[in-house]
């Protein structure tokens, strides 16, 4: 017992001493007691002291069927007995081929080619470079089309290219001199409409503005990048029904590629396998990561149409090659996990079973609107954002220094729930395998934590 306590103490010290945590103010991190996870099973995470927590954000939106999912464990172990890694640069491997075939079979019709990488950011980076290079060299390309349109409040990753098309001031403004210019359109953030309108009856003014932008810039724009249905990292902002389909139509009308960034929304989180399915949309390029390997290993894919792929074919000396490739691209272990991930969807009819959970979640979430400081509750499938505000009538925010969102998640931890806020939006995104009981606990703890923290703040 003593030895374990000592080991744990040392781990805590070394965590503070050696690790620079992402998106974390380290000055606070060292002061606040951290949680060090040692194990997981289903939707439960266990820390080094044996405390259990519900994994309320599916290990940052990645975990699909729960932790220690037998089928995925076995798939990775079996692959490990063959080979852990070999390169995809000019060489191939079995799981990468099998997965590419499988994913092309279930993604929107028209997407035929798979380019692997290892994170959402790289998948987006690849998409941007493909859309750019296509115009430079394809027979029907137009070298003047070099720019991108994206939405305010969008998030596409942390690398320089993906930040350039991102639209979250808090994360992105410090890097502005490093970025390439992109054209931003207002996002459909209906709770705080940029045009002061409200739905229904707004006539989707945001789309009219988008069309004006496309009309003015089509000659210099190669692609529009969009998170379909839900802008995740800015606080689960939901696009009104019909919005995405209209974006597709506008892209067609102005001869602009549509890049659908399904990194957050893909793999069942919206209730369908891919968010684009809700609006019957086929993008020209689609990016996948987060849930792709069931939350097991780093993997990402950028899918394109045959037309785009063909723009890169030519004699070697024409230099039409796509000069891009990360070292661990198409890693066999990750691809084996990704195959098993899809097999679980099929074998266990995951999406069918998910519908009752989504409905149950919806009913539980309705109660939250009664809380004084809950301004908006947004849900799409299993993805939820609860926006906390200081005043319901004015929609005034809490002062940033109050760190209300952060306090709520700290409170939730005390009661056995791990969640992570986006500013003052509380995010809930459990894995698809969560049970109704666990879902109830997740809602109960979240509700009580919001109530406790906001009452304490006011009192």
Cβ nearer to ligand PLP, comparing 263 with 273: 263
Cβ nearer to ligand PLP, comparing 289 with 417: 289
Residue 162 contacts residue 148 (beta carbons within 8 Å): no
Angle, alpha carbons 67-71-73 (nearest 5°): 60
Residue 454 contacts residue 388 (beta carbons within 8 Å): yes
Cα dihedral 212/213/215/216 (nearest 10): 110
The residue nearest ligand PLP at its CB is 120
Beta strand 221-226 pairing with 257-261: parallel
Cβ nearer to ligand PLP, comparing 232 with 235: 232
Q: Give me the least distance between CB of 405 and ligand PLP, in Å please.
A: 18
Cβ nearer to ligand PLP, comparing 204 with 427: 427
Cβ nearer to ligand PLP, comparing 288 with 443: 288
Q: Give me the least distance between CB of 152 and ligand PLP, in Å please.
A: 14
Q: Which residue matches tokens 């490990």?
A: 80
Query: Judging by beta carbons within 10 Å of its beta carbon (0-12, 13-18, 19+), is residue 355 exposed, middle or buried?
Result: exposed
Q: Give me the least distance between CB of 279 and ligand PLP, in Å please.
A: 17
Q: Give me the least distance between CB of 289 and ligand PLP, in Å please.
A: 5
The Cα 190–Cα 204 span in angstroms is: 10
Q: Give me the least distance between CB of 225 and ligand PLP, in Å please.
A: 9
Q: Which residues bind ligand PLP (CB under 6 A)?
A: 119-121, 124, 155-157, 227, 232-233, 261, 263-264, 289-290
For the chain, give percent helix, strand, coil, nearest 5: 45, 15, 40
The residue among 203, 190, 197, 199 whose CA lies nearest residue 377 is: 190
The Cα 26–Cα 34 span in angstroms is: 11
CA distances from 296 to 40, 142, 325 (A): 12, 40, 21
Cα dihedral 231/342/223/142 (nearest 10): 180
Cβ nearer to ligand PLP, comparing 151 with 263: 263
Angle, alpha carbons 57-360-278 (nearest 5°): 75
Q: Give me the least distance between CB of 30 and ligand PLP, in Å please.
A: 24
Cβ nearer to ligand PLP, comparing 247 with 453: 247
Residue 364 contacts residue 374 (beta carbons within 8 Å): no
Cβ nearer to ligand PLP, comparing 138 with 236: 236
Cα end-to-end distance, the chain, whole Å: 42
Q: Give me the least distance between CB of 193 and ligand PLP, in Å please.
A: 22
Q: Give me the least distance between CB of 227 and ligand PLP, in Å please.
A: 5
What's the gap between Cα 315 and its chain centre? 37
Cβ nearer to ligand PLP, comparing 11 with 60: 60
The Cα 181–Cα 323 span in angstroms is: 22
Q: Give me the least distance between CB of 61 and ligand PLP, in Å please.
A: 7
Cβ nearer to ligand PLP, comparing 382 with 390: 382
The Cα 239–Cα 223 span in angstroms is: 19
Q: Give me the least distance between CB of 158 and ligand PLP, in Å please.
A: 6
Q: Which two tokens stand for residue 23?
A: 């998106």
């Amino acid at each position: 017992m003593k030895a374990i306590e000592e080991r744990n103490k040392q781990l805590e010290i070394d965590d503070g001493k050696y690790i620079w945590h992402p998106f974390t103010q380290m000055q606070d991190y060292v002061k606040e007691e951290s949680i060090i996870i040692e194990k997981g099973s289903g939707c439960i995470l266990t820390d080094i002291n044996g405390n259990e927590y519900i994994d309320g954000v599916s290990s940052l939106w990645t975990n699909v069927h729960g932790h220690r999912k037998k089928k995925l464990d076995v798939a990775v172990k079996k692959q490990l007995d063959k080979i852990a890694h070999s390169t995809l640069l000019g060489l191939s491997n079995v799981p990468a081929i099998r997965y590419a075939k499988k994913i092309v079979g279930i993604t929107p019709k028209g997407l035929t080619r798979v380019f692997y990488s290892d994170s959402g950011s790289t998948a987006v980076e690849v998409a941007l470079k493909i859309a750019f290079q296509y115009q430079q060299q394809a027979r029907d390309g137009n070298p003047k089309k070099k720019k991108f349109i994206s939405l305010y409040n969008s998030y596409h990753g942390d690398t320089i290219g993906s930040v350039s098309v991102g639209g979250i001031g808090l994360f992105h403004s410090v890097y502005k001199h490093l970025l390439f210019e992109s054209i931003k359109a207002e996002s459909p953030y209906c709770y705080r409409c940029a045009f002061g309108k409200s739905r229904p009856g707004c006539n989707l003014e945001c789309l009219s503005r988008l069309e004006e932008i496309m009309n003015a810039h089509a000659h210099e724009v190669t692609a529009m990048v969009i998170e379909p249905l839900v802008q995740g990292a800015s606080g689960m902002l939901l696009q009104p029904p019909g919005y995405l389909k209209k974006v597709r139509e506008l892209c067609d009308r102005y001869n602009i590629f549509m890049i659908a960034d399904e990194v957050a929304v893909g793999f069942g989180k919206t209730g369908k396998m891919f968010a684009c399915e809700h609006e019957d949309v086929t993008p020209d390029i689609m990016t996948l990561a987060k849930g792709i390997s069931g939350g097991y290993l780093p993997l990402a894919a950028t899918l394109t149409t045959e037309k785009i792929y063909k723009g890169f074919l030519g004699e070697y000396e024409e230099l039409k090659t796509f000069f891009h490739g990360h070292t661990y691209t198409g890693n066999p272990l990750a691809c084996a996990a990704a195959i098993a991930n899809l097999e679980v969807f099929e074998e266990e009819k995951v999406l069918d079973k998910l519908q009752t959970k989504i409905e149950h979640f919806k009913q539980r979430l309705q109660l939250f609107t009664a809380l004084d400081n809950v301004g908006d509750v947004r849900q799409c499938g299993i993805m939820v954002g609860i926006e906390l505000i200081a005043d319901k009538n004015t929609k005034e925010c809490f002062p940033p220094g109050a760190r209300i969102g952060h306090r709520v998640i700290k409170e939730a931890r005390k009661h056995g729930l791990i969640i992570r806020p986006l500013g003052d939006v509380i995010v809930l995104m459990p894995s698809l395998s969560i049970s109704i009981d666990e879902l109830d606990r997740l809602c109960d703890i979240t509700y009580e934590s919001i109530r406790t923290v906001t009452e304490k703040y006011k009192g």
